[in-house]
Structure 1
Amino acid sequence: MERLTKFRQLLSEGNFDGFVVTAPANRRYLCGFTGSSGVLVINKDEAILLTDFRYLDQAKEEVKDFGFQVKEHDPQVWGTVAAEIARLCSGGRSRWGFESEHLVEKNYRALNEKLECGVLTPTEGFVNQLRRKKSAAEIAAIRKALQITEEAWNRLLAELKPGRTEKEMAALFEYYQRQLGAEGTSFPTIVASGPRSALPHGAPTDKKIEAGELLVLDGGARYAGYCSDFTRTVVVGAAPTERQQELYEIVRRAQETALNGMRAGMTGKEVDALAREVIKAAGYGDRFGHGLGHSLGLEIHENPRLSVTDETVLEPGMVFTVEPGIYLNGWGGIRIEDVVVVTDDGIENLTTSPKTLTV
């Protein structure tokens, strides 16, 4: 009920008479429903989850503490949504928001054509305004997801040997996470070795890991709907070379600088600059081509972000990844990633795994 109350305050502040929610993560956040099909119709007096026959019993159980009614929609869902809006309008004209970053044009047309009252008004990031700051329960779920991921990594370290393939390592990592209680992965696991480690989002292949190669693993678990995100870089089966160690230390120092300096009141751009300046000063500024981090929660990538373009001011309760990297085509790449919570006097680092280069 608390989330619905806060959402209605947003509606009032935005001069909306009602709102249509279609994004799955926002739907789950507001009403607790975990099914794959549903639309929320909300105004100041009523909050309705429209879903199909498959989910009716499940939905009634999941939304009971969130203040929502559950109704079955017709096969033509947008006709049902339009009918509910018309009923809530009581025949008058009203202003209804919708998630323009999620509702595809085809479905927008289907809804708009059936509306007899109500004017659809596009919004972006509307529900995300509530989701930016995590509650204690949300942080606990993220912490648990991260604990699962880190234990899976600890188990995988014993299996990281020359001759194993990237796909094998990704499959084992995901299996361990499931075994430890994950609902699933928070995104497809990245395992990239040798020169392929220079691919920031390198999908695992049949390539065999060779002794002395860099290996980047980036993965996460989903627990109670919430995501973890974790990256470590290691050298497999041999001591690191001088250059591998040198670049690793640059990335580690960049991350440590950001972790030590990050605090509420800074902008995402300012935090990004803390790490970026370290890498730039070492001569690899053009080899760090992505943002320092992103929020996460019910989705693996949420806003705000730690990037050169994000002017959002950090507040206590926001959760971010901090993941600087250096990527050299034909040689390899290094990335280290932790998940942190912004606090009143700095940050709490939820990630505990060591940052050592040698397996």
Structure 2
Amino acid sequence: MSWRRWPRTWASALRGCRVASRRTRSRLEAPTPRPRRQAVMLDTAEYALFSREEMDRRYARARALMEERGIDALVITGEENFQYFAGTCASIALHHSLTRPSVLVLPLDRDPVIITQSKIYILMSTYVSDIVEYFDVLQFPHQVIVDVLKGLSLKRSRVGVELGQEQRMGIPVGAYLALVDVLPTLSFVDAADIVIRLRIVKSREELAYIRRAAEVTSRARQRIFDDGIVPGMTERDVARTMRRLILEEGGDRTSFVHLQLDLPGSKNQFPYERPLTRGMMLGIDAGAYVRMYTVDYPRMATLGEASEAQKRAHRAAREINRRMAEALRPGVKCSDIHRIAVAGIEAAGATVDRPEKLVGSRFGHGQGMLITEPPNINPRDHTVLEPGVVLSTEPGIRLDGVYCLWEDVHVITEDGHEQLTTETEELREIAF
């Protein structure tokens, strides 16, 4: 398709969504439901992943931010955002199935409401007691959500939804537009800033899962470096082996496995059946999930004895990373850390693969429920670091013709930072 046709195509798609939303609106029932009774949060949940106190703190922080913005309720639909506010997962297949969306409504002045297809999935792992079920897999549950929102009798009629940067709603665009159409007395506004400000600062309970994810990732990767890579293996073989070892070491699943090879397409999530060759520098960039939380960081090895050029590139990347990490503390801006990275690259006599990376890309990012979250170590990200922020330092450089990526994950503390990734920093040499 020619790029000149894109605007017309997008406009047609949007018109189609609006037509669909009008059709949906015509099917919705007109009567206003009675006000919803006040449900009481449960004190215990047998298989909860978080304490009741942890969830109460999340809701209290959210409501304080909602009050600042004059927002009466949040409508949460994104998968990870739903998990954050519900403390559990209602999906049977995470992002691998787009049917059966779940929605959490957090009012300003009462306990949350969950709308999901089958409450039996979450009854034993959430403290939310007000759970509304629906059963149609072919049609989005518009009327259920409309009834819930109308029944809350919102005072200011402002509803926050996930519309901004690095947010993905978990419902179809047409479904969202239909809700906007059928609820003309409500004003739907972007609440991405609220969600980001909440998730960017991790609690002790969240950090415990992230630490475990880093430990699992470290053990799995060192096992594959010890004896898991042999001549005759392909890139796909390495990725599959790493995924298996993450499960064996206690991970629930893998976030991703990227092979850092200086070859076209090596970062593909469907690794090629391309054989490994002696002399390569191989980076395995991967992360284990432990429950809802993951990490993302690589370690490097060579297939055979490392060359002097490979050793120099590895040392230089680690030194740049060290300089960045030393600057991590409360009050520092992400853009400040980016300047330190650029200065370190220049001091090492190294380069980056593409000059635009120095402006538009990043040398690190937040981590937690996803492998990449705000904030970003980018020259235009002026987020001020504060205790509880988890982010990585990630310089990727080319020196003497050798590409090397390094990354560590840190949490900002009251007086500096703590490095969460404690895996060995040596350049492993694999007999090959």
TM-score, structure 2 normalization: 0.76
Which one of the candidate residues 231, 249, 252 is aligned to 1:180? 249
Which one of the candidate residues 375, 390, 396 is aligned to 1:325? 396
What is the match of residue 50 of structure 2?
Answer: none
Matched-pair contact (CA < 8 Å) for 1:86–1:116 = no
CA–CA separation in structure 1 for the residues paired with 2:230 and 2:126: 47
What is the match of residue 210 of structure 1?
Answer: 277
1:135-150 map, 5 Å: 135-150=203-218
Offset, 1:249: 1.8
- SS state at 1:125 partner: helix
1:216-231 map, 5 Å: 216-231=283-298
Matched-pair contact (CA < 8 Å) for 1:174–1:185 = yes
Question: Does 2:104 align with 1:40?
Answer: yes
* Equivalent AA in structure 2 for residue 336 of structure 1: W
* Equivalent AA in structure 2 for residue 166 of structure 1: E
What is the match of residue 381 of structure 2?
Answer: 310
Unaligned runs of 5+ in 1: none
Deviation digits for residues 153-175 of structure 1 (CA, Å, limit 9, x no counterpart)? 11101222333211111111110
Root-mean-square deviation over aligned CA pairs: 2.2
CA–CA separation in structure 2 for the residues paired with 1:206 and 1:305: 33
Cα distance, 1:118–1:312 mapped onto 2, change above 3 Å: same
What is the match of residue 99 of structure 1?
Answer: 162
CA–CA separation in structure 1 for the residues paired with 2:338 and 2:271: 28
What is the match of residue 22 of structure 2?
Answer: none
- SS state at 1:186 partner: strand
Offset, 1:202: 7.5
CA–CA separation in structure 2 for the residues paired with 1:298 and 1:202: 19
Deviation digits for residues 273-318 of structure 1 (CA, Å, limit 9, x no counterpart)? 2222111233334437341111111121111122222100001111
Deviates more, 1:344-353 or 1:320-329: 320-329
CA–CA separation in structure 1 for the residues paired with 2:270 and 2:321: 24
What is the match of residue 51 of structure 2?
Answer: none
Question: Does 2:147 align with 1:83?
Answer: yes
Which one of the candidate residues 344, 350, 361 is aligned to 1:284? 350
- SS state at 1:41 partner: strand
* Equivalent AA in structure 2 for residue 355 of structure 1: E
Cα distance, 1:326–1:350 mapped onto 2, change above 3 Å: same
Offset, 1:194: 4.7
Deviation digits for residues 144-196 of structure 1 (CA, Å, limit 9, x no counterpart)? 01100000011101222333211111111110111112110122x11243534
Offset, 1:3: 1.4
What is the match of residue 10 of structure 2?
Answer: none
Deviation digits for residues 23-63 of structure 1 (CA, Å, limit 9, x no counterpart)? 1111111111312231011212241000013xx11222222
CA–CA separation in structure 1 for the residues paired with 2:420 and 2:160: 36
Question: Does 2:139 align with 1:72?
Answer: no
- SS state at 2:343 partner: helix
Matched-pair contact (CA < 8 Å) for 2:72–2:156 = no
User: Which of the pair has more CA radius of gyration?
Assistant: 2
* Equivalent AA in structure 2 for residue 351 of structure 1: T
What is the match of residue 312 of structure 2?
Answer: 246
What is the match of residue 353 of structure 1?
Answer: 423
Offset, 1:349: 0.9
Matched-pair contact (CA < 8 Å) for 2:350–2:399 = no
Cα distance, 1:185–1:334 mapped onto 2, change above 3 Å: same
Matched-pair contact (CA < 8 Å) for 1:94–1:117 = yes
Cα distance, 1:72–1:23 mapped onto 2, change above 3 Å: same
Matched-pair contact (CA < 8 Å) for 1:324–1:335 = yes
* Equivalent AA in structure 1 for residue 419 of structure 2: N
CA–CA separation in structure 2 for the residues paired with 1:116 and 1:273: 47
Matched-pair contact (CA < 8 Å) for 1:78–1:114 = no
Deviates more, 1:143-152 or 1:296-305: 296-305
Deviates more, 1:208-217 or 1:134-143: 208-217
Offset, 1:116: 5.4
CA–CA separation in structure 2 for the residues paired with 1:156 and 1:139: 26
What is the match of residue 159 of structure 1?
Answer: 228
CA–CA separation in structure 1 for the residues paired with 2:310 and 2:135: 60
Cα distance, 1:328–1:73 mapped onto 2, change above 3 Å: farther
CA–CA separation in structure 2 for the residues paired with 1:24 and 1:123: 16
Unaligned runs of 5+ in 2: 1-55, 92-100
Matched-pair contact (CA < 8 Å) for 1:263–1:342 = yes
* Equivalent AA in structure 2 for residue 172 of structure 1: T
Deviation digits for residues 98-117 of structure 1 (CA, Å, limit 9, x no counterpart)? 11142353222121122253
Cα distance, 1:347–1:200 mapped onto 2, change above 3 Å: farther
What is the match of residue 62 of structure 1?
Answer: 125
Question: How many residue pairs get matched?
Answer: 350
Cα distance, 1:80–1:202 mapped onto 2, change above 3 Å: closer
Cα distance, 1:216–1:60 mapped onto 2, change above 3 Å: same
